[in-house]
Structure 1
Amino acid sequence: MEPELFQILGISLGLGLLVGLQRQHEQSELAGIRTFPLISIFGTISGLLAQDFGGWVIAMGLASLTALVVAANYMRVKAPHVDVGLTTEAAALLMYAVGAYLVLGDKTVAVVVGATAAVLLHLKDTLHSFVRRIGEKDLKAIMQFVVISLVILPVLPDQAYGPYDVLNPHNIWLMVVLIVGIGLLGYFAYKIFGQKSGTLLGGILGGLISSTATTVTYARRTSDDQHTSSKLAAIVIFIASAVSVARVIVEVAVVASGTLPTVAPPLAAVFLFMLVLGGGMYLFKGDNADQMPEQGNPAQLKTALVFGAIYAAVLLATAFAKDYLGDSGLYIVAVISGLTDVDAITLSTARLMSTDNVGLDSGWRIILIAALSNLTFKAGLVGVLGSRSVFGKVALLFGAVLAFGMLVLWLWPENFTLLEDLLAV
């Protein structure tokens, strides 16, 4: 099994789905969200076969597909009321290529491709229903993410610039793609469940999209609308913040998976504490219903550029602090950067840990301090924008988490390192 081969097939499938989504949204009668992935994968399989048998395989595949398109259009002209599709024909060509590849290539790859084709064929109603629910705004979000991830990222230079050689445009934008991708995942989960989601799902989706934006939205609702329950608003804000801590662990897993055995346990302890605290609040929330407000598009180019600038600034700040103050300087950067964005300091610290420029024991503490700083900032937002009632509840919940986080910082193994570093500043 070759990971590179699966990567090629995955890209082929993704591009086919992307084009198929756009064509389906435009109500193309010739080919849609199922047919284009089948065609793209058929082309990939033909290309793989051509490596052993020559380019005539690709030419024959193109000729066959062209004949199918011509035949389908001819039938449509002759019988305009007949719904002519290419799904069965494309699937037949694909399965022919898969069958050949089973003999000539990696059997595991062929099985995966065949199973994927079967799933696509089976999910006709589900995929068509998904496309029908997508509006112009949602399609714009998808295309903007394509620009961010598949147009801008590949052309950025993969080399270091600037002071301390820490500003690598490709690596910086790769982190932008990661964060925007997480936000987009939450956004589309909201599009599926959001309008009918209650307090629990609203908090989870809010944490995936943006816990800070969720905090601002719900705090304002308690101030602008006297009928909004401060208890429900506080629970949603708290759940979104808990999800943001879990999101930090995921980011570390993506950027520096080798550090997880050391970094994940203390962060997970804080998350579990928040989970228990939030679960207790949720059980006693009462019967009041709540509806999640409309969410903004997380894939806007302006948002991506702002995060990229913040991440680059944090990279420079961490390099400067490390050079002049050692690890203790990174704690100061964590407090400051965590006030507005915990993702940037998390990703930069994860990279430093993966290159052994920061010890793992210092690394998780830097990330946790940034997360606690972010909680303090959001509590302040609630105090400024929300009602007194919701601020009191949020302050109590966040205060408990801050106290528990301090205990984790103090009592976790090798607990005196942080104090010594702070005293050395």
Structure 2
Amino acid sequence: MLATPSFHSLGLLLLLSFFLGFAFEDFFAKASSARPGGIRTFPLLSLGGGLLYLFDPTHLIAFTGGLLVLGVWLSLFYSVHLRERDERGERNAGLVVLLLNIHAYLLGAVALALPHWVAVGSTVVAVLLLTGRDQLHGLARRVDMKEVTTAGQFLILTGVVLPLLPNEPVTTLTSITPQHVWLSLILVCTLSYASYLAQRYWPPAARGLWMPAIGGLYSSTATTVVLARQANSDPAARRQALAGITLATGIMYLRILAIIAVFNMTLARDLAAPMGGLAAVALLIAALQYWLIKAPAAQAQGQTPRGNPLELGTAAVFAVMFMVISVASTWVKTQFGTAGIYWLAAIVGFADIDPFVLNMAQGGIAGIGEHAVSIAVLLAASSNNVLKATYALSFGGRQTLQSAALLLLLAVAGVALAVFLASVKL
């Protein structure tokens, strides 16, 4: 008994096959020789594939036979196609034409048997890959092989290591599981890797305040050091450097809030007002610095992005720090109570606050509520601002005195908010 296709499925089949054929003909309009496929061939192939699928949707004997016939015909074409030479005199061995014909044939069954988004998505991707040939080849020539290796490392972190890790605590010293640790690592690596790629391959990132804004997504501390050195060595960069240091800190508040929201939306809502307020103040001050400080005749050049942050060694260090802070937090809570957690937050702010914040967001300490965690996060961010103020003075000297003072002001504001939250009775 034949399956009955819906009117919408049939219409979608025809629409997508015409779309694919139109893109094919437009792309190969200037080709020196004929190519099989086009605005008539692809709809016919799709209809043929759909009808053969409907004859036997269970065993697909007729559909498979049609695919074999198409394969033989395409093989004959390809044997002749291989003898051709392109404009550079090289053998024309591309498989795109053959694959698009096969895609058109498979589209008939896909549109009738699978959810419509599968047919639409696969066809749109095929057209984008066809029409984006020059851009994709240009990108492949620009990208260094090290980037491919780094992308492979990122896939290892997300697709290989994460599924293998247990989602149960492996020690009574902390309730954090190995999978929690790795999820946190992946989140931080994703932000840092995205900011690195933007600085390296997006030209506007080298101009204006884009570099400190993107740097704040990775590390506001590292960005402060870079810009302080720039302000001290290049007077023409002073305006951009001073505004950039404040901007990176404002982005830091938003980055911490976004990271917390991934794991603990309740905590993120509690911190939205204080962290959002501090971010708004920092961003406003950065804008005023950029507009009001006298701009020199020559603008500073964009900085070369720092080394790729996604090294496996760095990932291992982060994981170790995460576990150490988790165990230390549990011990401090047991020995000194919630007040001990506040002191620990102030101390870790002078190092890397991400492991501490992520540990808090995932409930790494039993018996401490969101209210106390909010106070701890504000203290950690404030102590980190003190560290950045110290770096600004150390590397920028008098040139960055204004930035150091503003960072200390933000630190004081953060501590004041923490004290206010501590005084509020829930």
For 1:182, give the aligned amino acid. L
Partner of 1:205: 214
Paired position in structure 1 for 2:317: 306
Deviation by residue 1:148-183 (Cα, 9 ceiling, x = unmatched): 323333333333223424352222122111111111
1 CA distance for matches of 2:324 and 2:69?
A: 54
Amino acid at match of 1:79: E
Instruction: Name the aligned partner's letter for residue 249 of structure 2.
Output: S
Is 1:375 paired with 2:388?
no
Partner in structure 2 of residue 184 of structure 1: 193
Give 1:37's aligned residue. Answer: none
1:294 is matched by which residue type in structure 2? T
Deviations, residues 107-157 of structure 1 (Å, cap 9, x unaligned) = 344434444444444444443333232123322322222233233333333
**Given the superposition, is the C-alpha separation of residues 79 and 122 from structure 1 closer, same or farther in structure 2, using an over 3 Å criterion?**
closer
CA contact (8 A) 2:231 2:242 kept: no
2:102 corresponds to: 93
Taking only aligned residues, the RMSD between alpha carbons, in angstroms, comes to: 3.4
On the 8 A contact 2:174/2:327 being kept in 1, the answer is no
Q: What residue in structure 1 maps to residue 136 of structure 2?
A: 127
Specify whether residues 292 and 364 from structure 1 end up closer, same or farther in structure 2 by C-alpha distance, changes over 3 A only. farther
* 1:75 shift after superposition: 4.8
Q: For 1:362, which of 344, 366, 372 is the aligned residue?
A: 372
Contact 1:231/1:393 (8 A) holds in 2: no
| Residues 398, 84 of structure 1: alpha-carbon distance in 2 compared, 3 angstrom cutoff | same
Q: Gaps (5+ residues) in structure 2?
A: 1-52
Query: Does the residue aligned with 1:199 lie in a helix, a strand or coil?
Result: coil
CA contact under 8 A between 2:81 and 2:93: conserved in structure 1?
Answer: yes
C-alpha displacement at 1:80, in angstroms?
A: 4.2
Q: Secondary structure at the match of 1:326?
A: helix
The residue type equivalent to 1:273 in the other structure is V
Is the 1:187–1:297 Cα contact (8 Å) retained in structure 2? yes
| C-alpha contact (below 8 Å) 1:263/1:363 kept by paired residues | no
Instruction: Rate the CA distance shift 1:259–1:72 in 2: closer, same or farther, 3 A.
Output: farther
TM-score w.r.t. the length of structure 1 is 0.74
Aligned to 1:79: 84
The SS at the match of 1:150 is helix
CA distance in 2, matches of 1:357, 1:92: 62
Q: Structure 1's 371 and 66: CA in aligned 2 closer, same or farther, altered over 3 A?
A: farther
How far has the Cα of 1:405 moved from its partner? 2.1
State the SS of the aligned residue for 2:302.
coil
Deviation at 1:187, TM superposition (A): 0.8
SS, match of residue 248 in structure 1: helix
Which of 148, 155, 162 is equivalent to 1:139? 148
- In the TM superposition, residue 404 of structure 1 has moved relative to its aligned partner by 2.7
Secondary structure in 1 matching 2:290: helix
Q: Counterpart of 2:202 in 1: which secondary structure? A: helix
Task: Name the structure 1 match of 2:42.
Answer: none
Q: Answer yes or no: is the 8 Å Cα contact 1:163–1:316 preserved in 2.
A: no
Query: Whose Rg is larger?
Result: 2
Q: 1:256 and 1:61 mapped to 2: Cα distance?
A: 53
Determine helix, strand or coil for the equivalent of 1:220: helix
User: Which letter does structure 1 place at the counterpart of 2:179?
Assistant: H
Cα gap change, 1:92 to 1:70, in 2 (>3 Å): closer
Cα gap change, 1:221 to 1:99, in 2 (>3 Å): same
Whole-Å Cα distance in 1 between the matches of residues 367 and 249 of structure 2? 29
Alignment deviations for residues 13-67 of structure 1 (CA, whole Å, 9 cap, x no partner): xxxxxxxxxxxxxxxxxxxxxxxxxxxxxxxxxxxx9xx8469899989979987
Q: Assess, with a 3 A threshold, how the Cα gap between structure 1 residues 54 and 211 changes in structure 2: closer, same or farther.
A: farther
Residue 244 of structure 1 corresponds to 252
Q: Distance in 1 between matches of 2:245 and 2:66?
A: 55
What is the distance in 2 between the residues matched to 1:333 and 1:85? 61
Q: List per-residue Cα deviations over 1:281-330 (Å, max 9, x = no partner).
A: 11124254122322210111121111111111111122222333333322
Within a 5 Å distance, the mapping from 1:367-406 to structure 2 comes to 367-390=377-400, 392-406=401-415
Q: Distance in 2 between the 1:270 and 1:364 partners?
A: 14
What is the distance in 1 between the residues matched to 2:318 and 2:108?
Answer: 47
Say if 1:380 and 1:125 are closer, same or farther in 2 by CA, change over 3 A: same
Change (3 A) 1:121 1:254: farther
CA distance in 2, matches of 1:321, 1:399: 27
| Partner Cα separation in structure 2 for residue 214 and residue 97 of structure 1 | 51
Deviation at 1:251, TM superposition (A): 0.6
Give the % identical residues. 25
Q: Shift of the alpha carbon at 1:201?
A: 0.3
The aligned residue for residue 193 of structure 1 is 202
Map Cα deviations across residues 197-225 of structure 1 (whole Å, 9 max, x no partner): 223101112112322222222223344x2
Equivalent position to 1:332, from 324, 336, 343: 343
Q: 1:41-80 alignment to 2 at 5 Å?
A: 53=58, 74-75=79-80, 77-80=82-85
Partners of 1:68 and 1:381 lie apart in 2 by 69
Q: Could you say if the C-alpha distance between residues 249 and 86 of structure 1 is closer, same or farther in structure 2, counting changes exceeding 3 Å?
A: farther
Match of 1:264 among 269, 272, 279: 272
Maintained 8 Å contact 1:195/1:291: no
How many residues are treated as equivalent by the alignment? 364
User: Judging changes above 3 Å, is the alpha-carbon distance between structure 1 residues 83 and 168 closer, same or farther for their aligned structure 2 residues?
Assistant: same
Tell me what 1:322 maps to: 333
* Counterparts of 1:327 and 1:97, CA distance in 2: 62
Matched, 1:291 2:301: yes
